[in-house]
A and B are shown apart, each in its own frame.
Chain A
């Protein structure tokens, strides 16, 4: 359900700007990289946003990078998350900081194709 929540927000934000949100502008990826560690995103989503394969009922976060949804969806989700994802209120993480984190996530390249990794073809 987590994915669908984000997608839903993405659709919503594509049509209507969410009330109270600062307008999204390109974030600072370098700052985002540091924030990503400092405020703990890496703990549950991995240092490259690769995510953890959750156990049957695990609480590790899914893959974040490269991001598949617009920044507004991430902002909305992070404020009102679901499942095992803790909330980040505006008081402790600003919209601009989320934009920076998003910019960092966008710098992470897609991995090589599975067929080109011999160890994943054993």
Chain B
């Protein structure tokens, strides 16, 4: 991981052309050699080596975009660029991280982004690798998270050497994931590779963000580029996010000022730390309660206006509901029966308004766009970027009378907030001494050990934990948790946690992942990646020995079908034999503790774990838990 800033003198040549790109006429691009010219069907002259493969230029492109890491499971289809990363690139920026599954590579990128705000690079085989990666790409897409995926492929059939080259080649590699990526390209020249990479990066980062795919053709990567002086890398121009039209922002401010009982609901709002600060300012100005859906770290959980667990009652009684990047607005304002017959009912007479960039990235096939909800005012804009102008518009309309009225209602919400916190403590006391350990007890024990550290919860979601961390811990900073997965695709939790911990490492934060058992077993090899690359991470197993959500679903189906209610465990539980997660962790080269079944054994174990994490190690503690 040491390494020179500038590994080979030649690299500068490419980079120095970056700024000249603007002057590059389309004619010059058109004149770039096509693959037929760049490839070689038969070795006429004996050219056995090159010290300047096209892959080096590709690495320069990646370096120009500032990637810190590339996550990959090695694959022959991109062997040239892998070699170039480690030799030509000096294995720094990007540094190669060995992953044992492509799903892990992408989910690591997903978790990393949610801490760092920058995309990670992923390499994968264009065929078999992308197939492994696809579910994780779907999660990232649904969660509006950019991951920069580079696929190895050998488009030119004339240069495929073996039967494996053939089964690992594809005409249109990215088609597999085109339904849930934002942009892809299969460049046939290095010029195009540079231009498309920069374009892809920019598109991926422009809100709403999403994964992008670039195919790195093996011929292009292998082909010598000695002596070529025509290769340039365009400069990356950052785009500003789309903001709400001023007239609509003014209308929304009017609605907010008039509302007696507004409620602000935050979904994927906070893209950056600024998101939380803006929301606090708006909520305090209006003294409006806030419901944070937990998809991002939007609002401090101990803020007196945070009433997240009371969301249903708030929405029912509201006269204005404002959704900020809420993907399922319908689910927010309707009650949908879970009984056999489908029925749904609007639960509020409130006016509805939303700010969301969601519609700007609508695709037709996969249905992550949710049920259509008519609203009174809809701003198709990035909510975080729009909030400052909304705050200003509200300030402009503020009068002494309104301020006094708002303060009175704010005091009322503060009381509700205090009651909500008190209720959480009382609820947590039930099953306090139970074995298997109650999830509330486990979370209280973890909190006792981390509350004096600078910590980050790198969980997939706190939903399966009955939200106990959000009820008992103090989430006071914008990086305290990374939100949920987006697509709810299993196998996300463990690798996303490792990716987030990787990003947290340079800030010295203690990363904590409360890890469900079913999710870990999709691709547990990511524990080895954490150990191998010395990524400090405290993994605490929420081991309820089941795909518990599915167990409940099958139970519901069994009850509805009315012919046997005691076999829902078949195909849903993970016992007989029980998996020993501590031994699994040890086998991957990290400290493993447990299984812990008695709640009193937890405190000392977690203390040991936190100490090891602070020394820079990954640790896993297996806790046998209550279902939720």
Contact = CB atoms under 8 A, between A and B. Distances in A.
Interface of A: 38-40, 42-44, 46-48, 50-60, 63, 65, 81, 83-84, 86-89, 91-93, 111-114, 117, 119-120, 122
B431 interface: yes
A91 B559 CA distance: 10
A114 B566 contact: no
Contacts of B559: 40, 86-89, 92
B430 to A, nearest CB: 4
A56 B311 contact: yes
Given A39-B566, A86-B559, A122 B551 contact: no
7 contacts: A43-B551, A48-B434, A50-B431, A53-B440, A55-B467, A87-B560, A122-B451
Nearest to A35: B566
A46 B438 contact: yes
A60 B338 CA distance: 12
B564 A122 contact: no
Interface string B392-406: 000000000000000
A57 B409 CA distance: 25
Interface class of chain B by DSSP: helix
Interface string B590-628: 000000000000000000000000000000000000111
A59 B552 CA distance: 10
Interface of B: 291, 293-294, 308-309, 311-312, 331-332, 337-339, 424-432, 434, 436, 438-441, 444-445, 447-448, 451, 463, 466-468, 471-472, 548, 551-552, 555-556, 558-560, 562-566, 568, 626-628
Nearest to A62: B427
A80 B438 CA distance: 29
Contacts of A55: 294, 463, 466-467
Which among B431, B436, B440 has the highest number of chain A CB atoms within 10 Å? Answer: B431
B565 A60 contact: no
Nearest to A120: B425
Contacts of A122: 444, 447-448, 451
Which among B424, B559, B564 has the highest number of chain A CB atoms within 10 Å? Answer: B559
B627 A92 contact: no
Given A43-B551, A57-B312, 4 more contacts: A57-B311, A58-B466, A87-B339, A119-B448
A63 B565 CA distance: 21
Q: Which 9 pairs of residues, A with B, have the shortest CB-CB distance?
A: A86-B559, A50-B431, A50-B430, A52-B628, A52-B466, A111-B429, A48-B431, A56-B311, A40-B555
A40 B424 CA distance: 25
A27 to B, nearest CB: 18
Given A46-B627, A53-B309, A114 B425 contact: yes
B603 to A, nearest CB: 8
Contacts of A40: 551-552, 555, 558-559, 565-566, 568
Contact of B565 (A39, A47, A48, A81): A39
A29 B559 CA distance: 23
B6 to A, nearest CB: 50
Contacts of A112: 429, 432
Contacts of A42: 627
Given A56-B308, A89-B562, A46 B568 contact: no
A56 B309 contact: yes
